[in-house]
């Protein structure tokens, strides 16, 4: 029941191309869950507030150059430095909605040509999400949405490669939502998926580790 000792918060990850709608949908989802009385926080990766996050941010803004493998490992380190806080939040009953996670790390780096298994290796042992939701939108449609900023990676040809690598990461546990649906329809599907996952974690679904 709700008060079982192993009741915990759930780790819910949103993934997708740049401009797929993840960020605004994760905000909407968090406020909906709060309204429902769920204790929940919005997280995102990269977490640009840490020292590592600031290096990542400078790289993305084209203010610094880094070897492809070096930046890959920084993105991973940025998740590792939050790992224990993440686990303690979950164990204390707080659910986390996370805008990007290890799958972004692998999809973006392997789209540059790095080996997929090499990209996954530093992620092994991080907390595994209870739910991964992919907001599915083609690179073309995403680019039409406007607002591709000046950040590195926000280019049509590169995003097409990222979409391909995301597809190689899919497994049956992923939930795919058509990102071209109206905002409210996407929101409705997200709410239902998230609430179901929150409930199963309250009932004591065990925490697991990547990759699983």
- The SS3 of residue 120 is helix
Tell me which residue of 129, 82, 84, 99 sits closest to 25, measured CA to CA.
99
Q: Is 196 helix (H, G, I), strand (E, B) or coil?
A: helix
Task: Return the number of other C-beta atoms located less than 10 Å from residue 62's C-beta.
Answer: 10
Residue 43 lies near ligand NYM (rule: CB under 6 A): no
45 forms part of the interface with ligand NYM (CB under 6 A): yes
Q: 167 to 196, contacts with ligand NYM by CB under 6 A?
A: none
Q: Check binding of 46 to ligand NYM (CB under 6 A).
A: yes
Min CB(199)–ligand NYM separation in Å: 27
Contact 207, 127 (CB under 8 A): yes
Contact segment (CB under 6 A) with ligand NYM among 27-35, 99-107, 172-180, 181-189 equals 99-107
Between 104 and 197, CB nearer to ligand NYM:
104
CB of 103 to ligand NYM, least distance (A): 8
Nearer to ligand NYM, 123 or 187 (CB): 123
Cα dist. 156→7, 146, 163 in Å?
43, 12, 11
Q: By CB under 6 A, what part of segment 102-161 binds ligand NYM?
A: 104-105, 108, 153
Cross-strand pairs, 175: 133
Q: Count of residues binding ligand NYM (CB under 6 A)?
A: 10
* Helix or strand (DSSP H, E) at 175: strand 175-178
Binding mask 3-32 for ligand NYM (x = CB under 6 A): ---------------x--------------
Of the listed pieces 97-105, 134-142, 185-193, 195-203, which binds ligand NYM according to CB under 6 A?
97-105
Report CA 56 to chain centroid distance, whole Å.
16
- In DSSP terms, 96 is beta-bridged to 11, 41
Is residue 103 within 8 A of residue 123, CB to CB? The reply is: no
Helix axes 68-91 and 51-60, enclosed angle (nearest 10): 130
Nearest approach, Cβ of residue 131 and ligand NYM (Å)? 17
**Closest approach of Cβ 204 to ligand NYM, in Å?**
29
Which residues of this protein are in contact with ligand NYM, per CB under 6 A?
A: 18, 45-46, 60, 75, 100, 104-105, 108, 153
């Amino acid at each position: 029941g709700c008060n079982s000792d192993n009741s915990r918060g759930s780790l819910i990850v949103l993934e997708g191309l740049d401009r797929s709608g993840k960020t605004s949908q994760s905000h909407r989802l968090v406020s909906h869950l709060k309204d429902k009385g769920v204790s929940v926080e919005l997280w995102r990766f990269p977490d640009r507030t840490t020292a590592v996050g600031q290096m990542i941010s400078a790289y993305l803004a084209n203010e610094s150059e880094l070897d492809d493998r070096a930046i890959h490992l920084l993105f991973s380190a940025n998740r590792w430095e939050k790992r224990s806080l993440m686990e303690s939040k979950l164990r204390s009953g707080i659910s986390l909605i996370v805008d990007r996670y290890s799958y972004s790390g692998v999809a973006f780096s392997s789209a540059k040509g790095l080996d997929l298994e090499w990209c996954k290796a530093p992620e092994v042992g991080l907390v595994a999400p209870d739910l991964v939701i992919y907001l599915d939108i083609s690179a073309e449609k995403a680019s039409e949405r406007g607002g591709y900023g000046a950040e590195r990676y926000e280019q049509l040809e590169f995003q097409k490669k990222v979409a391909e690598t995301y597809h190689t990461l899919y497994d049956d546990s992923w939930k795919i939502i058509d990102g071209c649906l109206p905002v409210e329809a996407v929101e409705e599907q997200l709410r239902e998926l998230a609430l179901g996952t929150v409930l199963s974690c309250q009932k004591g679904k065990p925490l697991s580790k990547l990759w699983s």
